[in-house]
Structure 1
Amino acid sequence: MQKSIAMVLAGGEGKRLWPLTKERSKPAVYFGGRYRLIDFVLSNLVNSGFHQIKVITQYRATSLVRHLTRAWPLASTVIDQFIECAPAAMNRGPTWFRGTADAIYQNLDLLREVRPDDVLVFGSDHVYKMDVGVMMQFHRDMDADLTVATLPVPIAQATAFGVLHVDDTGRIIDFVEKPKEPPPMPGRPDMALASMGNYIFKSKVLLDELRRDADQTESAHDFGKDILATAPARLKVYAYDFASHLCRGEDESSRGYWRDVGTIDAYFEASLNLISVSPSLNLYNDDWPIRGNPAPSGPAKFVFSDFSGGRVGMAIDTVIGGGVIISGGRVERSVVFPHVRINSYSHITDAVLFPDVDVGRGARLHRCIIDKGVKIPPGERIGEDLERDRQRFTISEGGVVVVSRDDFGQVDEYD
């Protein structure tokens, strides 16, 4: 029986998500009313039957490690199943990880422990559902040295991605980073194949490629720019079409759903898409569950119903986490994480509230993201006057206001 191990790259700093990444790594950012970004790749791997997983961390890893310890205790009873953190430790020299390829290179000892036939190298900061087992079967059927997960995108949008040029069999001829003229898919001249940043290598091929790259002084030590860009000339490299298969329990509306939430505006849009009647990302499919926050909490509660006086606890078109108390306030078109309290006469529209937020009496919040543990003062106004908000908070290009704890001098909290 062939063996495999998954190496999940989770050291990303996420500069474009600042200040949400001020106290946590990008994979540890909250998403979807209950989860962290890393929960999506881990759920995909576990649901697909891959139970030997190493998570490689670096930037501000405390929050991520705590989450993995509490939410993903896979190794508690079965010795050959594990999700383990591999912190940056300068294993091969006096430097931190210089790139995604170097992160794996500095952890080659982890592969020797398992001696796998194939190694999966996946990112951890995208939102999607994927049956990785189907990709693995494709990789082995093609006897590929390297298989790249790809997503068909309109050719007009492909200039923002790393794009793969493939032949009629799916074999990769070339890789181009953000091309001005993207090569089209065979038979689909209006579409191009974008790399998702997920790879499956034959183990020996990966070792050889990482050692070769480590010796290149001019290399950025990045899987896309340095390994994938040159591998087609030496290796059998194939493109796996992610949109060609649906996970268990999914329907056509979810086909090809994949979101890069690497900016505040992209994150905000993906979050609020969840409140639609039938979102493309189905968080209620028990056949392909997204596993995440195991913290115990009571049920959500809505109190006060003084309609004549305007003191009504209610939520409309909103995702609500466990332990939320809406006490005489009104929430519309929002995503509210666990243990948030909405106090009387407050009004929240088009917002994302991270765990443990407390919205003071009479406050009004609009088109904003409130970080974990922020206490919004009574009567506060956020998102109604962007010029005033710009003097106090972070505002994205699209006008989304992001509020962190230290914006109100609340720096003695935790993540």
Structure 2
Amino acid sequence: MIKPFDHTLYRKVLVMLLAGGKGERLYPLTRDRAKPAVPFGGIYRIIDFTLSNCINSGLRKICVLTQYKSYSLDRHLRVGWNIFNTELDEFIENIPPQKRTNEMWYLGTADAVYQNIYVLESERPEMVLVLAGDHIYKMDYAELINYHITNEADLTVPCIEVPLEDATRFGVVAIDNDSRIIDFDEKPSNPKPLPTNQNVALVSMGIYLFNTEVLVRRIIENAKNDTNRDFGKNIIPTMIQKDRVLSFVFNGNEHNTSNYWRDIGTLDAYWEANIDLVKKNPDFDLFDNRWPIRTYNKQYPPAKYIFENEKNGMIKDALISNGCLINDASIVKSIISPCVTIGAQSSVIGSIIMEGVRIGENVKIKNAIIDKHVTIPDGMKMGYDLQDDGKQFTVTEKGIVVAHKEMHLI
């Protein structure tokens, strides 16, 4: 018999959101900021999507564990997410390494939680939900919590199917007929496909729901050994042998019918996930008022479009943010962030233009990512000659041209 879900347990779930990674594969976007603070979708930061999932799921006790280049992330959390009522035992806490257990920074995902055992002792939650701050998806964590409780799991790992060639980037999971995880292989060079489909693998989504008592026991044991102190490499393989570890296969929900989940781990993946948003019927819908994605927005005037010559001006399949001034320019399949100026007879195709960028006249940009406050001089071309672009910009494997923040262009 399945036990009814006790909604009061929401207050007994503590979220620990891991936001301290270097994000080296997103360089140069992470040159001056933490990966979760990288802008996304015009007006958001990557972390906003996970935090919005928490709020929409009713979870309001959140610890954000930060580390590298956290200034802009700290500021964003302070001005954009100061929405909790401490009198109701709600909070969002930004926690850098406290060095309570040693003199080291966070050595891995499990070590980040281990170094904050003091928080668990103080809050005494029944469950701990460990989340990543660099994924784009919509998940109602209530469904996960309900599943975890009714199936009496010690650890529940949400999983999703991905193409076999992409599975090398994730923890590959094998399960039995009762959804119990029987094998966990972190970032294997030769991932095992699903027995029912040789073209896909079942992988971890980087989300872990623990019973607190079991979590504390296992991370203390792990800290005594010379390991990577990582959930995927160390904690989960150990728990498979000792505890009840279940998979929660993510099949979407009413807000995410396509099972959309993206790990923004590389520049190409980042570009693709952004461009997904400008499709006519995107798999990830920003306009779903039932599952709002919240953020902090500066006060800008409305976007303004000036088309004196219709042959030069066109906007098609694009997201245009407030404060933009577009003058006789062509914008196709692109995302234009706030306070961007685009000069006459310029064109932007398949590109992500971040806040405060100034694009001159007769500029041609294709398949590019332009970080904040870059000024692009008149007549410049980007994305049309990758060999030449490589002399000044970062060019990805798939030919995306990236200009870093406040870059001085010649």
- TM bucket (normalised to shorter chain) is over 0.9
Change (3 A) 1:180 1:304: closer
State which drifts further: 187-196 or 383-392: 187-196
1:246 corresponds to 2:253? yes
Measured on the aligned residues, the alpha-carbon RMSD in Å equals 1.9
1:268 corresponds to 2:271? yes
> Equivalent residue for 2:241?
233
SS at match of 1:317: strand
Structure 1 residues not aligned, in runs of 5+: 411-415
The match for 2:151 among 124, 133, 142 is 142
Q: CA deviation at 1:296?
A: 2.1
> Equivalent residue for 2:98?
89
The match for 2:14 among 5, 9, 12 is 5
1:114 corresponds to 2:123? yes
1:384 corresponds to 2:393? no
C-alpha separation between the residues in 1 aligned to 2:202 and 2:174? 7
State which drifts further: 366-375 or 71-80: 71-80
> Equivalent residue for 2:310?
307
Q: Percent of aligned pairs with the same residue?
A: 41
1:243-279 per-residue CA deviation (whole Å, 9 max, x = no partner) reads 2x4044x4x3x2x111112111111111112111101
SS at match of 1:229: helix
The match for 2:82 among 55, 58, 73 is 73
Query: Match for 1:261: what amino acid?
Result: I
> Equivalent residue for 2:295?
292
Query: Match for 1:113: what amino acid?
Result: S
SS at match of 2:228: coil
TM-score of the superposed pair, with normalisation by structure 1: 0.92
Change (3 A) 1:21 1:157: closer
> Equivalent residue for 2:23?
14
Does structure 2 conserve the Cα–Cα contact (< 8 Å) formed by 1:130 and 1:247? Answer: no
C-alpha separation between the residues in 2 aligned to 1:395 and 1:37? 22
Q: CA deviation at 1:190?
A: 5.4
1:376-404 per-residue CA deviation (whole Å, 9 max, x = no partner) reads 11222211221211111111111111012
1:145-188 per-residue CA deviation (whole Å, 9 max, x = no partner) reads 11111112344543443111111111111111234664555766
Does structure 1 conserve the Cα–Cα contact (< 8 Å) formed by 2:371 and 2:406? Answer: no
Runs of 4+ with >6 A deviation: none
C-alpha separation between the residues in 2 aligned to 1:180 and 1:27? 27
Change (3 A) 1:187 1:362: closer
1:105-254 matched pairs, under 5 angstroms = 105-155=114-164, 157-179=166-188, 182-183=191-192, 185=194, 191-217=200-226, 219-243=227-251, 245-248=252-255, 250=256, 252=257, 254=258
C-alpha separation between the residues in 1 aligned to 2:196 and 2:387? 50
> Equivalent residue for 1:29?
38
1:317-396 matched pairs, under 5 angstroms = 317-396=317-396
Q: CA deviation at 1:191?
A: 4.3
Does structure 1 conserve the Cα–Cα contact (< 8 Å) formed by 2:108 and 2:230? Answer: yes
C-alpha separation between the residues in 2 aligned to 1:185 and 1:169? 15
1:43 corresponds to 2:61? no
Does structure 1 conserve the Cα–Cα contact (< 8 Å) formed by 2:395 and 2:401? Answer: yes
Change (3 A) 1:144 1:104: same
1:282-326 per-residue CA deviation (whole Å, 9 max, x = no partner) reads 111000111113322222110132236x4x4x4211111122111
C-alpha separation between the residues in 2 aligned to 1:402 and 1:184? 34
C-alpha separation between the residues in 2 aligned to 1:172 and 1:161? 15
Structure 2 residues not aligned, in runs of 5+: 1-7
Does structure 2 conserve the Cα–Cα contact (< 8 Å) formed by 1:7 and 1:121? Answer: yes
Does structure 1 conserve the Cα–Cα contact (< 8 Å) formed by 2:40 and 2:46? Answer: yes
Count of aligned pairs between the two proteins: 401
C-alpha separation between the residues in 2 aligned to 1:214 and 1:267? 34
> Equivalent residue for 1:413?
none
Q: CA deviation at 1:79?
A: 3.8
Does structure 2 conserve the Cα–Cα contact (< 8 Å) formed by 1:166 and 1:186? Answer: no
SS at match of 2:298: coil
C-alpha separation between the residues in 1 aligned to 2:89 and 2:76? 21
Change (3 A) 1:247 1:123: farther
State which drifts further: 148-157 or 32-41: 148-157
Does structure 2 conserve the Cα–Cα contact (< 8 Å) formed by 1:393 and 1:407? Answer: no
Does structure 2 conserve the Cα–Cα contact (< 8 Å) formed by 1:165 and 1:173? Answer: yes
SS at match of 1:344: coil
Query: Match for 1:122: what amino acid?
Result: L
State which drifts further: 377-386 or 92-101: 377-386
C-alpha separation between the residues in 2 aligned to 1:33 and 1:207? 39
